[in-house]
Amino acid sequence: MSRPAHFLTLTDLTPDQLRRLLKRAMELKAMHRNGEQYQPLRGKVLGMVFEKSSTRTRVSFETGMVQFGGHAIFLSPRDTQLGRGEPVEDSARVLSRMVDAIMIRTYEHEKIELFARYSQVPVINALTDRYHPCQLLADLQTYMEHRGDIRGHTVAWIGDGNNMCHSYIKAARMMDFRLRIACPEGYEPKAEELEQAGAEISLVRDPLEAAADSDLIVTDVWASMGQEEEQTKRARAFSGYQVTDAVMAAAKPDALFMHCLPAHRGEEVAASVIDGAQSVVWDEAENRLHSQKALLELLISIRAGLK
Catalytic residue set: 105, 132, 135, 220, 260, 288
CB 256 within 8 A of CB 281: no
> Strand pairing partners for 154?
178
Binding-site size for ligand CP (CB under 6 A) equals 8
In the complex with ligand NVA, which residue's Cβ is closer, 87 or 226?
226
Residue 55's binding partner among ligand CP, ligand NVA, none (Cβ under 5 to 8 angstroms by kind) is: ligand CP
CB 214 within 8 A of CB 156: yes
CB 139 within 8 A of CB 258: yes
Spatial strand order of the sheet with 101-105 comes to 71-75, 45-50, 101-105, 123-125
In the complex with ligand NVA, which residue's Cβ is closer, 34 or 232?
232
> Burial, 229: exposed, middle or buried (Cβ in 10 Å; 0-12, 13-18, 19+)?
exposed
In the complex with ligand NVA, which residue's Cβ is closer, 194 or 225?
225
For the CB of residue 165, give the shortest distance to ligand NVA in the complex, in Å: 9
> Strand pairing partners for 46?
72, 101
> Burial, 52: exposed, middle or buried (Cβ in 10 Å; 0-12, 13-18, 19+)?
middle
Residue 48's binding partner among ligand CP, ligand NVA, none (Cβ under 5 to 8 angstroms by kind) is: none
Residue 297's binding partner among ligand CP, ligand NVA, none (Cβ under 5 to 8 angstroms by kind) is: none
Residue 164's binding partner among ligand NVA, ligand CP, none (Cβ under 5 to 8 angstroms by kind) is: ligand NVA
Report the candidate in 148, 128, 136, 109 with the shortest Cα–Cα distance to residue 260: 136
> Which range in 52-60, 200-208, 210-218, 243-251 contacts ligand CP by CB under 6 A?
52-60
Q: Is 259 in the site for ligand CP (CB under 6 A)?
A: no
- What residue ranges bind ligand CP (CB under 6 A)? 54-57, 127, 135, 260-261
- What residue ranges bind ligand NVA (CB under 6 A)? 127, 132, 162-164, 220-221, 224-225, 260
